[in-house]
Structure 1
Amino acid sequence: MEDKKAEIFRCGKELFSSKGFKDTNVSDITKLSGIAVGTFYNYYSSKEKLFLDIFMAENEQLKKNIMTSVDFNETPSKLIKRLMELNISGMKANPILKQWYNTDTFGKIEQLYREENGVQSVNFLYDDFIELIRTWQKNGKMRNDIDCNLIMAFFTALINLDTHKEEIGIQYFPQLLDYMADFIMDGLLDNSHK
């Protein structure tokens, strides 16, 4: 049974990577994996659910790669900028994660995630970074009068700016992200930790 689920996952990943979410359908996935359409539904309730599982796995791998490639001895300000830079470039380089920039597709996936995990759930893209924020707060490197989830919301909003650069004005990127990161970090750190 697990072999069939793994094969559906593998074929879904291959097709979502090459054709995108919108242009891939369940019958494409089942044809490539050599199973019946009904069998697909024994493992996944929808194409969106399969894509969410693949997206989450790819996102987890990106986060692991990022966390092993940064210097945690950097100042919080430099480290946050580096984490955001690696996250954005990693998402743009990965055909699955790149779907984040397709607001129609990602809206469906985010809605499914929130239905499964609750409306109050923390943004699932950045959960791993919360521990870093908590550590900085505990060590007095970052303000601890602001909830760490709210701090993560600042960074989520900052990354979301990149998905709206055409609306804001593409001529302002990436400088806008740099300045916004500086402004946010200035508000979160005391002068001795910048």
Structure 2
Amino acid sequence: MEDKKADIFNCGKELFSSKGFKDTNVSDITKMAGMAVGTFYNYYSSKEKLFIEIYLKENKKLKRSIMESIDLDGDPVKVAKEAITLNLKGMNTNPILREWYNRDLFSKLEKEFYQEGGIAGVYELMNSSTAELIKKWKVEKKIRNDLDDAFILSLFNSVPYIEIHKEEIGICHFPQIIDYLVEFIMKGLTDFQK
């Protein structure tokens, strides 16, 4: 039974990557997997549920890759800027993750995402690694100690959401806006002058 679920997952991932969420339907997935449409519903209640499961797995893989690729002992401002840059690049180059920024799908996917506890799943790895990094930076006196760790984590987690509104903000300035926001946040965290 787990093989069938894995087949559905893998075929769904391939089709969502090549055709996109909107242009992929359950019958495409089951045809590729060599099974009846009804079999799909033994494992997933909807195309959205499958997509969110794939999305969460892809996002965790991206976050893990980011945390493994950056020098966490570096300057906090540079570490944060590099992590955010890699995250945004990864989100925009992965066709599954890029669907998050599709305005037509966002509200529908966001609803499914939160119903499935997605925010906890996506940030589980990143938050645990980032929380450890925040504690380390505090011990090393690289960032302010007077701010709650959860608040600092929320600052970091808020930056990628800004990309959803880049049209309203102004696409021509958008990459610089993210860069400066991260820099301003980090300078605020590393500024010990009161």
Check whether TM > 0.5. Answer: yes
Shift of 1:175: 1.5
Partner of 1:102: 102
Q: Which runs of 5+ in 2 are unaligned?
A: none
For residues 37-85 of structure 1, the C-alpha deviation after alignment (integer angstroms, 9 at most, x for no partner) is 1111111111111111111111111112111211111111110000000
For residues 2-42 of structure 1, the C-alpha deviation after alignment (integer angstroms, 9 at most, x for no partner) is 11011000100011001111111111111111111111111
Assess, with a 3 A threshold, how the Cα gap between structure 1 residues 134 and 115 changes in structure 2: closer, same or farther.
farther
Q: What are the residue-to-residue correspondences of 1:165-184 with 2, within 5 Å?
A: 165-184=166-185
The answer to which of 21-30 and 155-164 deviates more is: 155-164
Assess, with a 3 A threshold, how the Cα gap between structure 1 residues 89 and 183 changes in structure 2: closer, same or farther.
same
Q: Which runs of 5+ in 1 are unaligned?
A: none
The answer to which of 54-63 and 97-106 deviates more is: 97-106
Structure 2 Cα separation of the partners of residues 135 and 110 of structure 1:
33
AA of the residue aligned to 1:14? E
Partner of 2:45: 45
Partner of 1:3: 3
Q: TM-score, normalising length from structure 2?
A: 0.87
Structure 2 Cα separation of the partners of residues 107 and 131 of structure 1:
32
Structure 1 Cα separation of the partners of residues 176 and 48 of structure 2:
35
Q: Give 1 or 2: higher helix fraction.
A: 2
* Identical counterparts, % of pairs: 55
Structure 2 Cα separation of the partners of residues 105 and 127 of structure 1:
26
How many pairs does the alignment contain? 190
Shift of 1:123: 7.8
